[in-house]
Amino acid sequence: MTDTPALLFVCLGNICRSPLAEAAFRKAAAEAGLAAEADSAGTGDWHVGEPPDRRAQATARRHGIDISGYRGRQVSARDFHRFTHILALDHANLDNLRALRPRDATARLSLLLDHVPGQEGEAVADPYWGDETGFDTTWAEVSAAAEALVAKLQARS
C-alpha cells in the first residue's frame, strides 16, 4: 500500500502555468478515479494571495474547470515534506527549487515535461507576456503531463 500521492506544481508567479497544471492534474486524476492531492505555488512572491491570471481562468473554464478560487502562494522548504512529488514547469523553477530543497527532503523533484514521452528536457513556456494563444499551448502541455503523471501513479499502486 503506497501513500496517497500529493503533487505540487511550481512556476514563477503561480498565476499562469502552475494553476493550469494543478487544474489539468485534478481533472485527469478525477477522470481516472485516482486518489491524489494537488496544489500549486510560485518561486516568486509577487502574486501571493491573488487569483490566477484572467486568461488562465478563461482557459481552464473552456475545459470545464473553475480555478477562480485558487490563490497564489510562494513555495517553501516545508513543501518538500508535505508533498510526494514537486514538478517544476521550467528550468529556472527547477534550479530555484534545487536551491531551496532541504537535505532531508522526501518529495521527488522533477521537470514537468520530463514525464511526457518526446518532450523530456523541455520547459512549459511562460505565456504571461504573450497573447491568449499562448495559454492554449500551456494547456496542451500541462494536460499531456497530467495524463502521463496519472498513468505513472496508477501503474505504481
* Residue from 7, 8, 16, 28 in contact with ligand 4NP (CB under 6 A): 16
**In 10 A of CB 73, how many CB atoms?**
17
Q: CB of 142: closest distance to ligand 4NP in angstroms?
A: 10
**Residue 134 touching ligand 4NP (CB under 6 A):** no
> What are the residue ranges of helices labelled H in the chain?
17-32, 54-62, 79-82, 91-100, 133-156
When asked if residue 14 is in the footprint of ligand 4NP (CB under 6 A), the reply is yes
Size of the site for ligand 4NP (CB under 6 A): 10
Catalytic status, residue 126: yes
Q: How far apart are CA 62 and CA 81, in angstroms?
A: 34
Q: Is 17 a catalytic residue?
A: yes
User: From edge to edge, which strands make up the β-sheet containing 6-11?
Assistant: 37-42, 6-11, 85-88, 108-111
Q: How far is the CB of 131 from ligand 4NP (least distance, A)?
A: 14
Q: Which residues of 17-53 are buried (b: 16+ CB within 10 A; e: fewer)?
A: bbbbbbbbbbbbbeeeebebebbbbbbbeebeeebbb
Binding of residue 128 to ligand 4NP (CB under 6 A): yes
Query: Is 45 a known active-site residue?
Result: no
Choices 6-14, 74-82, 100-108, 109-117; region in contact with ligand 4NP by CB under 6 A: 6-14
- Which residue in the set 15, 86, 88, 109 belongs to the binding site for ligand 4NP (CB under 6 A)? 15
Catalytic residue among 11, 39, 53, 55: 11
Task: List the one residue out of 28, 24, 16, 12 whose CA is nearest residue 57.
Answer: 16
> Which parts of this chain interact with ligand 4NP (CB under 6 A)?
11-17, 46, 126, 128
Catalytic residue list = 11, 17, 126
